[in-house]
Each structure stands twice: as C-alpha cells, then as structure tokens.
Amino acid sequence: MSKTIEKTALVWFRRDLRAHDHAALAHALAAFGRVYCAFIFDREILDGLETRADRRVEFILRSVEALDAALRSLGEGAGVAHAGLLVRHGFATEEIPRLAVDLGAQAVLCNRDYEPAALERDGRVAAALLRQGIAFGDFKDQVIFERDEVLSGSGQAYSVFTPYAKAWLKRLGDDDLRPHAVAARAARLAPLPAGERLPALDELGFTATNLGALDLPAGVEGGRRLLGDFLARIGAYQEARDFPARRGVSYLSVHLRFGTVSIRELVAAARAHDSAGARCWLNELIWREFYQMILWHHPHVLTRSFRPQYDAVRWDEAPALLEAWQEGRTGYPLVDAGMRQLAQSGYMHNRLRMVTASFLCKDLGLDWRLGERHFARLLNDYDLAANNGGWQWAASTGCDAQPWFRIFNPLTQSQRFDPEGRFIRRYLPELAAVPARHIHAPWLMDAGAQAAAGVRIGRDYPAPVVDHAQARQRTLARYGVVKGAD
C-alpha cells in the first residue's frame, strides 16, 4: 500500500462552502488516501452576535447543508457511501484538534483567511495540532492575489487603487483562474463515522429569520442562479449599478463572503464577457482584493485611520442622531430607505452604502467607527476588509479615499440615483403617495400637499435632523483644522 493511501487528512471548511474548485480539498485529495471534511459553528464568533435571529447564521447553515449534500454526491459518484461533512458546534480551537486526533489524521488542511482574528485562531489551532504531531497547512483560495503578490516596482504595498489594479491585471494569467480539480479523486473521500448528522438552527441557539422571504438563495446552487442571472445583463452593469431601484448589480457579495462561489469562476466570467460592464464589475472584484491587501499590510486600520493625521478629527457625540440614522429616521428619504433596507434584509445597495456612510460622518459629524460597527452587525455580506475600507473611504480617513472637502449632498444623490422615488417608496411606505416632485425633499411640501399625500411631516415622517448646508460647513471646519489634511 502506498504512503499516500495510508495517510488521512481533515479538510477544515470555513468561508469556502463549496465542494468544487476548492484549493484545500483538492490538495488533500491529491496527497492523502482518506480525506474527511469538517465545518465548525465556532462559538468564538457566534457567542458574540447580538441577536439570536441572525440571517448570516441561517445562510451558513443552509449552505452547510448544501455542501454536505454535494460531498455525499461526489462520494457516491466515486463509489464511496456515506461521505459528507462533519459538523460541530463549539470552539474551533478545541474542536478541530479533537476531530483530527479522533479521526487519526496526519494533517489538517484549510483555505487561508486574512482577518487578524482568524489568523490568531489558526495559529492556536496549528500549535495545538503540533503538540499532537499533526501538520497544519493552508492554501490561497478566496483571492486571486494575496498579501505580497501584487507590489509596486519598489517592492512596497500599494496605497492607491488605480496603479494596484493595473499591476493586478498585468499579472493575471490563465493559470491564476484554473479551477482546483476535486471530482477526479473523489474516491478518496472518507465515509462519515456512524451517527453523524447536521444540527438544526435551534440547536445552534438561533431562531429563523426572514431569509426565506428574501431573494437570497443559499449554497452553491443559489450562487450559480444569481451568477447566471447577472451574466445575462452584465453588459449593462456600468450604467445600471448606481440605481438601487433597478436590478443592476450581481447580488453575489454574500456568496463571495462565504465562498459558495469561487473568485476564479467570477473573474473568468468577467474576462469571457469582455464588455464595458464586465470590465467595470471586474474592477469591483479587484477593489475587494485591494482592501484585503491593505488590511494585511496595515492592520492598524482596524481601530484607527489609515492616514494617521485624521485620528485628530474631533467627532461629535450625539446618541439621538446615531439612533435616528440607524433606524432610518433622519428625514432624508434616500438615506432612510437605505438604512431600512439594511435593517429589513441585511443587504444594502453599494451606492447607498456610500450615501449613508457619508451622511453619518459628514452630515451628522459622527465617528465612522460607529457606522462601521452597525454595518458589521447587520450586513449579510459583512467582510472586515471591505467594510473597513468602504467606511474609511467615505470618512476620507482611508487610503485612496474621497477627499474630505467632497461631501455628498443627500438630496442631489436622491434626485440623481432614484429620480422617480421608486426605491424610496419601497422602504418608506409612509411616503408612498408623495408625488415625484416632492419625494426627495418631502419637508418642502405645504400643509395641503402633505394632506393630499396622507403624510404629516414631523408626525408620520420626520423633518430633517440636520440642515445639509449647515452640516457641510461644520464638516469643512472639522477637517480643515487637522494638521496635514489634504
């Protein structure tokens, strides 16, 4: 019997919930004769969630169920009965070493994560495994280029997106998009021990959400459905992507976050279509890797400004204004519609992420970290690097950020990107009967117009919590006194 056939590996799935084009799984099947697969509902993460009705947990569970079925199908197709996914609910730092020992594994393999907490967790797991004489290996999978793979000519990390994107595209080759082969060696998948089953949502300590009512299908098939739908209209992406009332974007962000789609598949699809829309979308995928690279090289952005001089910005403290922003009660319809979309669905259109973030920082004068934390609590697609990068861009504290003296006018943004108020009316039913000429600034309606629309400003819908023109002047003064602001 060959040494390969004698060896056993455990593949630890995390944010890569698919059984195809999977780097760690492919490496395990190539090098080991028996391969188990596991997923841990990690209490180190779950115990810190603020609500027991979290759409992300439900999405993950549905995707884990689909992954288990896919692994079983792969095994059956290769003559292996009862392959599948080992699922545990506990602390990953304890469960993975325990599983590896119990299964007689010589190695644990996984796909690399780049977030500081994940790196710390993986270090603890690797150390625990080493004490048992078990190897730990990780592989690049969730990005095309990681960490130090795209650097400037002087060997430095980029801090401006455009030259980074040019270097990224110049480096990109066919080999970077080649899928990791899994199916050909599926006969090496190991049967699950007797008695294994998947947990129910309530066994994890969570309750059902409205996920099923949203257009957010989970698992690989859900990702494929959304991708197919998007590719049919990708040519219009560049023109349609900024209008939240239109179906102009891919809606794949949550699938990218949990790895139910492969980044290689998405980049390959964008290249194959070769239209202005496809190139624009590819640029957004590159932004994702840019922010991952920034987090890796500049971990201080987790708590501080990328550009240190902006740590001197003196933010206001106004809990009532923060609450009004969080609940969609600012009196600015597009801002409020975006915030209510987030609360009701866990999703927010990217244009509205910029608008609402700018409003918090530059109209309300509140610390960007407050908004970053709120988005982190609610976004289905929450990604630390992208969320942090987006908030620091809006607050003008980040790398390649919007200049501090450029301040979104929420009224202009509303008129430009939701001209008929279709999106606003979808999430602000109290304004449903307000005519288009007033929908962006309903506070300007006189008493008769308000009566005709069935809404009284200040009672049924709030008056603006701040005057934008005055807030703009306060923001210019706030940033203008910062030494080194440019």
Would you please indicate which residues are annotated as catalytic (active-site) residues?
284, 287, 315, 350, 368, 391
Residue 266 annotated in ligand binding:
no
C-alpha R_g of the chain? 24
349: closest CA among 449, 438, 277, 241?
241
Element (H, E) at 139: strand 135-139
Element (H, E) at 270: helix 263-273
Q: Do the beta carbons of residue 111 and residue 141 sit within 8 Å?
A: yes
Q: What angle do helix axes 333-345 and 350-358 make, rounded to 10 degrees?
A: 120
Residue 285 annotated in ligand binding:
yes
Residue 149 annotated in ligand binding:
no
Residue 291 annotated in ligand binding:
yes
Output the DSSP codes for 377-394: HH-TT--HHHHHHHHHHH
Q: Do the beta carbons of residue 108 and residue 136 sit within 8 Å?
A: yes
107: closest CA among 141, 133, 75?
133
What are the φ/ψ torsions at residue 475 (nearest 5 degrees)? -70, -40
Which residue type, as a one-letter code, is found at position 200?
A
Residue 192 annotated in ligand binding:
no
Residue 44 annotated in ligand binding:
no
Residue 138 annotated in ligand binding:
no
Task: Name the DSSP letter for residue 363.
Answer: I
Residue 284 annotated in ligand binding:
yes
Element (H, E) at 46: helix 43-46
- Measured CA to CA, the distance from residue 371 to residue 358 in angstroms comes to 10
Residue 15 annotated in ligand binding:
no
Which residue type, as a one-letter code, is found at position 181?
A
Residue 310 annotated in ligand binding:
no
Which residue type, as a one-letter code, is found at position 264?
R
Residue 237 annotated in ligand binding:
yes
Which residue type, as a one-letter code, is found at position 287?
W
Residue 38, CA distances (Å) to 7, 79, 379 in order: 17, 20, 26
Task: Name the DSSP letter for residue 457.
Answer: B
Residue 68 annotated in ligand binding:
no
259: closest CA among 11, 20, 9, 10?
20
Q: For residues 395, 157, 265 and 57, what is the CA-based torsion angle, rounded to 10 degrees?
A: -50
How many other CB atoms are there within 10 angstroms of residue 240's CB atom? 15
Residue 47 annotated in ligand binding:
no
Binding residues: 237, 281, 284-291, 381-383
Residues comprising the binding site for FAD?
237, 281, 284-291, 381-383
